[in-house]
């Protein structure tokens, strides 16, 4: 093609010493003579060259110095020259492509081929690096919403769209949106007034006042935006004092005749489920009535058998005190509140000396006359009673009556740690003069009603997050049940308002007002017994509001290990009610960097949440604000009034109740809203390790008998590996896959159930949980049995209550059975956590 040259500008000649030519493609050149060619003209020439080219051509810029002829060419690319052109464009030469057969064409083609070969590996490597970096960046961003990937993740399924409510203009609700929505609606209620009004009502289970309150609560739930409201009625056996034949306490002279009657100030104060009848014997002081206390009496030469025991309130439950006394052969038990256990501050009220404390003595939960079976009307039951019913009488007495008794005691002085603060009363072990206790409680078949309200879930409506509060109370019950009932109703109202404003929980929320709580969680246990086969598959978590406000200094949570990580995260979201500018987490971590050692406690049997975990295998939590170094003195007394609770909290009751509602509400949001259930299933590996540490102390003694704990170690290792495998599976999965998410949630929510021993009968051992339960299948029972290797059963603390027969030492056959029960329950939990049967490692 002939060379095309732009005509020279008439007004300007070529610039001196800067004559440049740019060669394009296979020979088309643009010659720059500094003549100021415009950008538009250059672009037109380039487009024309593109059209004239017979085939696609590659572009190589070569810098040519000097005049048009005889100028050496630069072979290297001048990118800076292209990126930063001079202020004036020079005249250009435009040449067509050289023929391929020509020397110039072959030279250019060879240059381009060589350059391409050199650049190809770098281009491929660069592309791979860019692709890998973009993929990793996108993956990390996508996984940011996973709750199970670490304890520091505090988002709640932020990629989930929740449809706007009918009165809402918003679309997606994220964690911050839900938190703000919850707090905004929670602030509208009046908790303080609800607590006051509830505490003024007669609420003894089975009374006319309780029936009226039940109707009012049902009506209150029906007024809210709930999907279902209903009542569940059970007919249970409750025990009441006999007004015509009140319980009595008399001195007995040396001839065995009844003497002066000791005053029992309030005939309404009694121990439900105490054995009825009479007990006569010498008096012995037994501290808190723990097995180790009774054993100490024996080592000091004071035999508890056949005597009446005077024990202090606290440390363990009423039922545990009576069970221990019965195991040691005592004839009866008197329980009193010692001032040393209820210190009285200068500005805080204390318990009066003439007040006795109420408490049931059934070592268990639910209706003891239908153990393991629900108490529905017209249902036939086998003629059995709970093994937790005591066979000896028990009666609460006041501190004033206890002072009279202690003054009559002889014998050795009690140890220093057993000394109390009853003025003028020397604390001696006894024995003392004879006493006669008469208990005349009566049993009655009584209807009780649990009231339910439900907000159905959007994606998993068959999975229930349950929250409940005891409604009944012996006495005013301000702290015992009025606070919990008021907070429950406020949470119902708050979540109902949230639903009206766009909130749609992923799982169903179940709000329950329980009856019969003061008799040992009768209402909740009967509900669990009636629907156990359903609830262990569908109940995700139980949150209890009972005893939530007993002070304002410290926060305690009695809970399953599965909930510890979630509790930590929620504590970081709730403001402290008495430390301005601090969260609850900062408040508890300030005094103890190991926050869980300060806050977390195992569920005791007298907790209303205990049966959910130990009996039904549902993770549960019961949390409380308490006083620092001082227990709330009025619980289970007629002094548990709104006024006394307000005084103990120094006017801070509304703020503390609000903090409880915030904590409970945010727990419910996380548990009902998160795509992946925020339950830390790996925590139980740490629990097993901690208990194994206690067993390791006896490995040498076992080895000397040809026994080993290796089975337990192996099962624990399998559980740890299964938990880690599940965690990795979840981390690498797609959270948007609803089927996969539901499958993981089912495995996670049943972890607690896996620790119920499948090898013992629920009728014989209702509390089958190997860590929290009661019976020979538990890890605690195994540990107590192993301790017998170094002592007799009578010297082992806790031996009596764990099922170790008095007078029997270590039994190898029993040890092997216990080890098998524990090992295979733990191994079964590991297998279930692994998922499908083809994923299980059977090399045990």
Query: Is the pLDDT reported for residue 22 higher than 60?
Result: no
Query: Is the pLDDT reported for residue 277 higher than 70?
Result: yes
Query: Is the pLDDT reported for residue 167 higher than 60?
Result: no
The predicted structure's pLDDT at residue 189: 62
Query: Is the pLDDT reported for residue 335 higher than 60?
Result: yes
**Contact indicator for 435, 249 with CB cutoff of 8 Å:** yes
Query: Is the pLDDT reported for residue 573 higher than 80?
Result: yes
The predicted structure's pLDDT at residue 112: 52
Phi, psi at residue 623, to the nearest 5°? -125, 155
Same domain, 696 and 666: no
The predicted structure's pLDDT at residue 343: 76
Q: How far is CA 478 from CA 206, 215, 396, 471, 641, in A?
A: 19, 20, 21, 11, 5
Token reading at 479: 């702290």
Point out the domain boundary residue: 673, 703, 737.
673
| Strands lying side by side in the sheet with 248-252 | 258-261, 248-252, 434-439, 277-285, 308-312, 332-336, 394-396
Output 134 or 458, whichever has higher pLDDT.
458
Lowest mean pLDDT among 19-28, 361-370, 778-787: 19-28
Query: Is the pLDDT reported for residue 89 higher than 50?
Result: no
**Contact indicator for 488, 513 with CB cutoff of 8 Å:** yes
CB-neighbour burial class of residue 55 (10 A; exposed 0-12, middle 13-18, buried 19+): exposed
pLDDT band at 842 (very low <50, low <70, confident <90, very high): low
Domain annotation covers residue 183 = no
Query: Is the pLDDT reported for residue 9 higher than 70?
Result: no
Domain annotation covers residue 412 = yes
The predicted structure's pLDDT at residue 68: 42
- Name which of 354, 342, 338, 331 is nearest 284 in CA terms: 331
The predicted structure's pLDDT at residue 613: 96
pLDDT tens digits, one per residue of 185-204: 887 568 889 999 999 999 99
Same domain, 604 and 714: no
Mean pLDDT of 121-145: 68
Torsion of CA 385, 386, 387, 389, to 10 degrees: -90
Same domain, 687 and 626: no
The whole-angstrom separation of Cα 156 and Cα 368 is 42
Same domain, 341 and 320: yes
Lowest mean pLDDT among 480-484, 654-658, 805-809: 805-809
Query: Is the pLDDT reported for residue 587 higher than 70?
Result: yes
How many CB atoms are located within 10 Å of the residue 831 CB?
Answer: 21
Token reading at 604: 């005791």
Output 23 or 645, whichever has higher pLDDT.
645
Same domain, 824 and 695: yes
Token reading at 69: 């002829």
Lowest mean pLDDT among 435-439, 500-504, 512-516: 500-504
Lowest mean pLDDT among 60-69, 522-531, 730-739: 60-69
Mean pLDDT of 678-682: 94
The DSSP element (H or E) to which 459 belongs, if any, is: none
Percent of the chain having pLDDT more than 70? 77
Domain annotation covers residue 408 = yes
Point out the domain boundary residue: 605, 640, 673.
673
Domain annotation covers residue 401 = yes
CATH number of the domain enclosing 325: 3.50.30.30
CB-neighbour burial class of residue 673 (10 A; exposed 0-12, middle 13-18, buried 19+): buried
Query: Is the pLDDT reported for residue 803 higher than 50?
Result: no
For residue 528, how far is the Cα from the chain centroid?
Answer: 20
The predicted structure's pLDDT at residue 53: 47
Query: Is the pLDDT reported for residue 117 higher than 90?
Result: no
The predicted structure's pLDDT at residue 697: 86
Q: What spatial distance separates the first Cα and last Cα of the chain, rounded to whole Å?
A: 85
Query: Is the pLDDT reported for residue 789 higher than 90?
Result: no
Domain annotation covers residue 656 = yes
Tell me the average pLDDT of the chain: 82
pLDDT band at 90 (very low <50, low <70, confident <90, very high): very low
Domain annotation covers residue 223 = yes
The total number of structural domains that make up the chain: 3
**Contact indicator for 396, 359 with CB cutoff of 8 Å:** yes
CB-neighbour burial class of residue 583 (10 A; exposed 0-12, middle 13-18, buried 19+): middle
* Residue 368 structural domain: 240-441
Residue 638, CA atoms < 13 Å, CB-side half-sphere = 12
Same domain, 487 and 634: yes
**DSSP secondary structure letters along 598-644:** HHEEPPPTTSTTHHHHHTT---EEEEEEEBTTB--TTTTSTT--HHH
Query: What are the E-state strand segments in 295-361?
Result: 308-312, 332-336
Same domain, 567 and 712: no
Point out the domain boundary residue: 426, 441, 456.
441
The predicted structure's pLDDT at residue 805: 43
Mean pLDDT of 669-678: 94
Same domain, 667 and 749: no
pLDDT band at 106 (very low <50, low <70, confident <90, very high): low
Query: Is the pLDDT reported for residue 525 higher than 90?
Result: yes
Cα Dmax for the chain: 147
Output 176 or 262, whichever has higher pLDDT.
262
**437: CB partners within 8 A, 6+ apart:** 247, 248, 249, 278, 279, 280, 308, 332, 334, 393, 395
Same domain, 303 and 320: yes
CB-neighbour burial class of residue 337 (10 A; exposed 0-12, middle 13-18, buried 19+): buried
Q: What is the DSSP letter of 574?
A: S
Q: What is the CA radius of gyration of the chain?
A: 40
The predicted structure's pLDDT at residue 255: 83
Lowest mean pLDDT among 92-101, 133-142, 341-350, 363-372: 92-101
Query: Is the pLDDT reported for residue 29 higher than 80?
Result: no
CB-neighbour burial class of residue 601 (10 A; exposed 0-12, middle 13-18, buried 19+): middle
What is the 3 state secondary structure string of 366-428? CCCCCCCCCCCCCCCCCCCCCCCCCCCCEEECCHHHHHHHHCCCCCCECCHHHCCCCCCCCCE
Lowest mean pLDDT among 78-87, 322-331, 464-473: 78-87
Query: Is the pLDDT reported for residue 45 higher than 60?
Result: no
Domain annotation covers residue 208 = yes
Query: Is the pLDDT reported for residue 216 higher than 90?
Result: yes
**Contact indicator for 484, 470 with CB cutoff of 8 Å:** yes
| Strands lying side by side in the sheet with 620-626 | 228-240, 442-455, 507-514, 460-470, 539-544, 620-626, 554-559, 600-601
Q: What interhelical angle do 710-731 and 683-696 show, nearest 10?
A: 160
Domain annotation covers residue 64 = no
**Contact indicator for 522, 238 with CB cutoff of 8 Å:** yes
The predicted structure's pLDDT at residue 111: 60
Query: Is the pLDDT reported for residue 421 higher than 60?
Result: yes
Same domain, 343 and 254: yes
The predicted structure's pLDDT at residue 362: 96
pLDDT band at 7 (very low <50, low <70, confident <90, very high): very low
pLDDT band at 627 (very low <50, low <70, confident <90, very high): confident
Mean pLDDT of 272-290: 96
Token reading at 706: 């040809």
Sign, Cα dihedral of 86, 92, 98, 103: negative
Query: Is the pLDDT reported for residue 819 higher than 70?
Result: yes
Same domain, 745 and 643: no
Same domain, 519 and 572: yes
Strand 332-336 with 600-601, pairing: unpaired
Phi, psi at residue 446, to the nearest 5°? -130, 135
């Amino acid at each position: 093609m002939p060379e095309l040259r732009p005509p020279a500008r008439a007004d300007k000649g070529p610039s001196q010493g800067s004559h440049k030519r740019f060669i394009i493609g296979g020979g088309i050149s643009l010659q720059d003579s500094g003549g100021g060619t415009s950008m538009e003209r250059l672009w037109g020439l380039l487009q024309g060259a593109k059209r004239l080219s017979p085939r696609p051509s590659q572009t190589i810029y070569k810098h040519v110095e000097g005049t048009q002829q005889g100028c050496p060419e630069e072979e290297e690319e001048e990118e800076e020259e292209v990126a930063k052109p001079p202020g004036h464009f020079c005249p250009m030469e435009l040449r067509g492509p050289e023929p391929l057969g020509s020397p110039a064409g072959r030279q250019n083609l060879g240059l381009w081929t060589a350059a391409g070969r050199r650049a190809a590996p770098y281009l491929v490597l660069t592309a791979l690096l860019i692709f890998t970096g973009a993929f990793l960046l996108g993956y990390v961003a996508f996984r940011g919403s996973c709750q199970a990937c670490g304890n520091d993740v505090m988002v709640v399924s932020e990629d989930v769209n929740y449809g706007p409510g009918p009165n809402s203009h918003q679309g997606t609700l994220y964690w911050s949106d839900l938190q703000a929505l919850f707090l905004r609606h929670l602030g509208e209620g009046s908790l303080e007034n609800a607590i006051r009004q509830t505490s003024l009502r007669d609420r003894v289970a089975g009374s006319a006042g309780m029936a009226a309150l039940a109707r009012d609560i049902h009506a209150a739930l029906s007024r809210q935006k709930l999907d279902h409201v209903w009542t569940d009625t059970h007919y249970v056996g409750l025990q009441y004092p006999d007004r015509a034949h009140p319980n009595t306490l008399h001195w007995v002279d040396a001839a065995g005749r009844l003497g002066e009657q000791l005053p029992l100030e309030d005939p309404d104060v009694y121990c439900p489920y105490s054995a009825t009848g009479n007990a006569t014997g010498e008096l012995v002081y037994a501290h808190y009535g723990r097995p180790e206390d009774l054993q100490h009496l024996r080592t000091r030469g004071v035999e508890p058998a056949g005597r009446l025991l005077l024990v202090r309130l606290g440390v363990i439950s009423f039922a545990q005190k009576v069970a221990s006394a019965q195991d040691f052969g005592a004839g009866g038990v008197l329980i009193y509140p010692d001032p040393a256990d209820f210190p009285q501050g200068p500005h805080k009220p204390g318990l009066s000396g003439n007040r006795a404390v109420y408490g049931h003595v059934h070592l268990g939960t639910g209706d003891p006359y239908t153990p393991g079976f629900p108490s529905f009307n017209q249902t036939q039951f086998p003629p059995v009673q709970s093994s937790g019913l005591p066979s000896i009488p028990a009666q609460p007495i006041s501190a004033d009556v206890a002072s009279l008794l202690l003054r009559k005691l002889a014998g050795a002085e009690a140890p220093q740690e057993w000394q109390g603060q009853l003025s003028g009363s020397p604390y001696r072990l006894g024995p003392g003069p004879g006493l006669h206790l008469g208990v005349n409680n009566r049993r009655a078949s009584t209807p009780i009603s649990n009231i339910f309200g439900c907000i159905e879930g959007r994606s998993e409506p068959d999975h229930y997050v349950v929250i409940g509060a005891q409604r009944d109370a012996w006495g005013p019950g301000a702290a015992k049940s009025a606070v919990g009932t008021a907070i429950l109703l406020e949470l119902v109202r708050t979540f109902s308002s949230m639903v009206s404003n766009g909130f749609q929980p992923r799982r169903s929320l179940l709000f329950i007002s329980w009856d019969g709580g003061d008799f040992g969680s009768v209402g909740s246990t009967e509900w669990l017994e009636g629907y156990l086969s359903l609830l262990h598959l569908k109940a995700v978590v139980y949150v209890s509001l009972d005893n939530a406000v007993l002070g304002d200094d410290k926060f305690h949570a009695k809970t399953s290990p599965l909930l510890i990580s979630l509790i930590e995260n929620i504590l970081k979201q709730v403001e402290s009610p008495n430390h301005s500018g601090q969260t609850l987490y900062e408040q508890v971590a300030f005094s103890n960097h190991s926050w869980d050692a300060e806050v977390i406690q195992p569920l005791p049997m007298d907790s209303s949440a205990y049966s959910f975990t130990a009996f039904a295998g549902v993770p549960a939590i019961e949390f409380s604000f308490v006083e620092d170094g001082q227990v709330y003195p009025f619980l289970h007394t007629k002094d548990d009034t709104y006024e006394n609770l307000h005084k103990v909290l120094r006017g801070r009751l509304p703020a503390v109740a609000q903090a409880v509602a915030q904590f409970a509400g945010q727990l419910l949001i996380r548990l009902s809203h998160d795509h992946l259930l925020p339950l830390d299933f790996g925590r139980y590996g740490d629990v097993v390790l901690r208990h194994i540490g206690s067993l390791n102390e006896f490995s040498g003694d076992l080895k000397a008998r040809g026994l080993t704990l290796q089975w337990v170690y192996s099962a624990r290792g399998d559980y740890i590996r299964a938990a880690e495998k599940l965690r990795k599976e979840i981390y690498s999965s797609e959270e948007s896959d609803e089927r996969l998410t539901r499958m993981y949630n089912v495995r996670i929510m049943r972890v607690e159930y896996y620790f119920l021993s499948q090898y013992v009968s629920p009728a014989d051992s209702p509390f089958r949980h190997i860590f929290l339960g009661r019976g020979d299948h538990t890890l605690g029972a195994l540990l107590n049995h192993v301790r017998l290797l170094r002592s007799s059963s009578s010297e082992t603390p806790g031996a009596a209550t764990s099922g170790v027969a008095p007078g029997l030492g270590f039994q190898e056959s029993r040890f092997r059975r216990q080890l098998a029960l524990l090992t295979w329950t733990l191994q079964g939990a590991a297998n279930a956590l692994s998922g499908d049967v083809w994923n299980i490692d059977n090399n045990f």
